[in-house]
Amino acid sequence: MNFVQRSECPVCESQNCTTLVKIPFVAPVMMNFIQDYYQGRPDPSLFVADDYHLVECERCSCVYQKAILSSDNMDALYEDWVSDEGRKKKDRRRIKDMNTYMRDFKVLEALTNRRPHDISVLEFGLGWGHWSRLAKAFNFNVSGAELAEDRVANALAHGIPIVSDLSSVPDEHYDIIYSDQVLEHLPHPAAMMSEFSRMLKPGGFIVTKVPSDKGMSKKLNPATFKPAHDAVHPLEHINLFRRSTFDFMAQENNLIQVKVPYVEGLSRPVEFLRERKRGIQNKAHQSTAIFHKTRN
């Protein structure tokens, strides 16, 4: 079995959904995209029996791919198919391109009203550790969670402690759980949110960034749909979170959503207000949602 069919919404478990787009993976428009994007690495025979099938949940509005790669193939996707380009690009960045990290660190300080030294952070899905390494340099008490062995080794070499089994983390352990472009890749994002919530201290925050749903309604027209590296990227971005999806996740875990606080010097106030009009901060390609675990 190369793919697994998801019979219910990965966020709210509703089985009621509406099909938005359904195209066989072997259709030229899909197969050309996949082979181009992964530079011919996937075996085409993996895809013969399944469809790129995008549906919208009738209850929480999550948009999700019905057919997802089986766990072995998912490992192959992230360890063998994806190229090193993303990492190389990050390795070669200028200081101005890292302003967004600076902004994150200021946001964490503003949210908790504490100094980095006193803030324990788990970066979930730290990848090549660019964010965690800087967080460490700014004195945050940071550790990471990551599955891929080469990335784990890299993090350890840079002095970032790795949590290999989340279930071993005590309840109410971290002040901040940070995940950037991770939840959209997970077969069970809701289960992960409740794990985050369990590990979070009362008064703590989950800061999560996911691809934005901005402009997606127009894109999801079956007559004109084209696969691309965007919020509904085939195989990878298997969940797309809408505002009501985040609302559902917050409610389920007894969390409240808070706005991204304004931090000085890194974004012009007018732009900032425009970005955060919707509560979740919505930039062109990325949304930031912040969940707060209250003390009572």
Contacts (Cβ under 8 Å, ≥6 apart) of 227: 29, 30, 33, 34, 52, 233, 234
Q: How far is the CB of 17 from Zn ion (least distance, A)?
A: 8
Estimate the crossing angle of helix 99-112 against helix 130-137, to 10 degrees. 60
Region near Zn ion per CB under 5 A, out of 53-61, 105-113, 170-178, 189-197: 53-61
The answer to the question of residue 243 lying near Zn ion (CB under 5 A) is no
- Cβ–Cβ contacts within 10 Å for residue 260, how many? 21
The answer to the question of residue 12 lying near Zn ion (CB under 5 A) is yes
* Ranges within 193-232 binding Zn ion (CB under 5 A): none
Instruction: Work out which of 30, 62, 135, 193 binds Zn ion, going by CB under 5 A.
Output: 62
Q: How far is the CB of 189 from Zn ion (least distance, A)?
A: 11
Q: Do residues 208 and 123 make contact, with C-beta atoms less than 8 angstroms apart?
A: no
Q: How far is the CB of 199 from Zn ion (least distance, A)?
A: 24
Contacts (Cβ under 8 Å, ≥6 apart) of 258: 111, 205, 290, 291, 292
Question: 169-194 in b/e burial notation, b at 16+ Cβ within 10 A?
Answer: beeebbbbbbbbbbbbbbbebbebbe
Q: Please, which residue, 11 or 186, has the CB nearer to Zn ion?
A: 11
Q: Please, which residue, 65 or 154, has the CB nearer to Zn ion?
A: 65
The answer to the question of residue 60 lying near Zn ion (CB under 5 A) is yes
3-state SS class at 191: helix
Of 237, 218, 223, 235, give the one whose Cα is nearest residue 286. Answer: 237
The answer to the question of residue 249 lying near Zn ion (CB under 5 A) is no
Q: Is 279 left (phi over 0), alpha (psi -120 to 50) or beta?
A: left
Q: Please, which residue, 62 or 206, has the CB nearer to Zn ion?
A: 62
Helices (H), the chain: 28-37, 71-76, 85-91, 99-112, 130-137, 149-157, 189-199, 216-219, 243-252, 269-275
Instruction: Work out which of 22, 23, 31, 59 binds Zn ion, going by CB under 5 A.
Output: 59
Strand-pair partners of 224: none
Instruction: Work out which of 6, 9, 66, 186 binds Zn ion, going by CB under 5 A.
Output: 9
The answer to the question of residue 186 lying near Zn ion (CB under 5 A) is no
Question: 131-160 in b/e burial notation, b at 16+ Cβ within 10 A?
Answer: bbbbbbebebbbbbbbeeeebbebbeeeeb
Q: Please, which residue, 62 or 182, has the CB nearer to Zn ion?
A: 62
The answer to the question of residue 55 lying near Zn ion (CB under 5 A) is no
Estimate the crossing angle of helix 189-199 against helix 243-252, to 10 degrees. 50
Q: Please, which residue, 57 or 107, has the CB nearer to Zn ion?
A: 57
The answer to the question of residue 250 lying near Zn ion (CB under 5 A) is no
Region near Zn ion per CB under 5 A, out of 9-17, 101-109, 119-127, 202-210: 9-17
The answer to the question of residue 11 lying near Zn ion (CB under 5 A) is yes
The answer to the question of residue 57 lying near Zn ion (CB under 5 A) is yes
| Amino acid symbol at 283 | K
Region near Zn ion per CB under 5 A, out of 56-64, 90-98, 184-192, 250-258: 56-64
Region near Zn ion per CB under 5 A, out of 1-9, 82-90, 145-153, 223-231: 1-9
Region near Zn ion per CB under 5 A, out of 59-67, 158-166, 266-274, 285-293: 59-67
Binding positions for Zn ion, rule: CB under 5 A: 9, 11-12, 14, 57, 59-60, 62
